[in-house]
Every structure is written in structure tokens, then in C-alpha cells.
Amino acid sequence: MRVETETVTGQDATEATAEKAEQGATSIYEPDDIGDAENTRDTVHIVESEETPSEGTETEEAEDVQPQARWRQIKWSRVVAFGVLPAMALVIAAAAGFLKWQDAWVRGSTVAGIESVAAAKDSTVALLSYQPDTVDKDLAAARDRLTGKFEGSYTQLVHDVVVPGAKKDHIAAVATVPAAASVSATPRHAVVLVFVDQTVTVGNDAPTETSSIVRVTMDNIGGRWLISAFDPV
């Protein structure tokens, strides 16, 4: 009986020892596992706390950039709408007006060149042609084709020299213009080169012929081309 009791007791002791060992092992390892879990959680919380502010900052920065971009877009659109476009319209209108004016000026100058050449030819013939019996009338009509200082100087020459000489010596003069060319022409002013052939007869003498080139300056006054200068070249 004693042996069995001791045996049983020894078995119980062994089992008790084993249980204690298992409890000890549990007590040894469980706190570490719990600590690791808590450390892991703390680490996760720390990481999350570090990442969260950065995401918020980026969001705020994005929100700040978007209004600025919109403001700039609106500002430039207003500048284009109220500044650039009207300025471009004015420039285009001014350019169109200038081109129209230039076209009209060119057309007017072309017409002026044609008209001034014709007037210079006719007026030169009138100035240099006369007969002894009608010299007063002939040269008076020629004076109507002149203007400015040249009109005064021509009138004095005719009155003092040409008319008395033509009447006294029976001088007749006939001028022709075989050619004429426009040097410059605007709607108000023109210069023409005139080639003149003149035949002069004194009394019963044989006629004499002369050729010359005259630079005729003309001004458009009241729609008429009048000679303001008559200079032999």
C-alpha cells in the first residue's frame, strides 16, 4: 500500500511539475508576444501619424494651386478679351485705313501724272506761240495758265519785251512739243520734262528753228494744273 501511494504521489508530482513547467513557459512567452503586438501597433500608429500630415499638406497645397491656376486663367482671359483683342482690332483698322489711303494716293498720283503731262504740253505751246497782230491776246490767254511768282515774272517780260518787239519787228513764233515725260506727280504737285521745238520768223526773213528741254513745275489749283516754274534745262 505504501508503494502504490508513493507511486501515485510520484506520478502526481511529476504531472504537477510538468504543469508548472508549461505554466512557466506560458508565462515566459506570452508577455513577449503581447509586447511585440503592442510594439507593432505602436509602430503602425507612428507610421500612420507620420504619413497622415504629409497627405494633408499635399492636399492643402493642391487646393492652394488650383485656385491660383484658375485665377491666372481668368486674369489672362480678361486681358485677352479686354486688352489684346481691342488693340488688334484697332491695329487692323488702322492698317486697312492706311492701305486704302495709300491705294487712293497711288491712283491719284497716277492720274495726276497723266493730267499734268497733258497740261504741261498745252501750256508750253501757249506760252511760246504768238503772232504779231494778236500778240496781246495770245499771251494774255497764256498768262491764265500760270500761278505764283512765275505768273508775275512772265507778265512783266511779255509787257516789257515780247509784245513791243513782236509788234515792231513783226515777229511770229510757233512752238510744238514732240515729247513730254512725268518726273514726279502727286494729286497736288507735279514736275514734267517738256521737249520743245520752236520756229521763229522775223519780218520777211527765213524762219529759224530751235530745240530745247524745259523743266515745267505745276500745281493743281482748283482742279486745274497751272505752271508755277518754267526752267530751261
* pLDDT tens digits, one per residue of 182-200: 999 999 999 999 999 999 9
Q: Does some domain include residue 121?
A: yes
Average pLDDT of the residues in 21-28: 45
Range of the domain at 194: 112-232
For residues 91 and 88, give the distance between their C-alpha atoms in angstroms, rounded to a whole number.
5
What does the pLDDT average to over 40-66? 48
Q: Which long-range contacts (CB under 8 A, 24 or more apart) does 104-110 make?
A: 105/186, 105/187, 108/186, 108/187, 109/185, 109/186, 109/187, 110/185
Determine, yes or no, domain membership for 55.
no
**% of the chain exceeding 70 in pLDDT:** 59
Pairing of strands 171-185, 189-202: antiparallel
**11 grid coordinates:** 506520478
Residue 180 lies in a domain: yes
Number of compact structural domains in the chain: 1
98-152, pLDDT tens digit by residue?
Answer: 667 666 667 777 899 999 999 999 999 999 999 999 999 999 999 999 999 999 9
The share of the chain scoring above pLDDT 90, in percent, equals 52
Q: Does residue 136 lie within any of the structural domains?
A: yes
Three-state SS at 222: coil
Is 60 exceeded by the pLDDT of residue 60?
Answer: no
How many CB atoms sit inside 10 A of residue 225's CB? 25
Q: What is the pLDDT of residue 77?
A: 60
Higher pLDDT, 106 or 55: 106
- The DSSP 8-state label assigned to residue 133 in this structure reads T
Residue 207 counted as domain residue: yes
Evaluate whether residue 199 is within a structural domain: yes
> What is the predicted pLDDT for the residue at 119?
97
Degrees to nearest 5, angle at CA 18 with 14 and 30 = 165
Residue 212: give its domain's CATH number: 3.10.450.230
pTM over 0.75: no
Kindly report, residue by residue over 188-231, the tens digit of the pLDDT: 999 999 999 999 999 999 999 999 999 999 999 999 999 999 99
* Any domain includes 130: yes
Q: 25 lies in a domain?
A: no
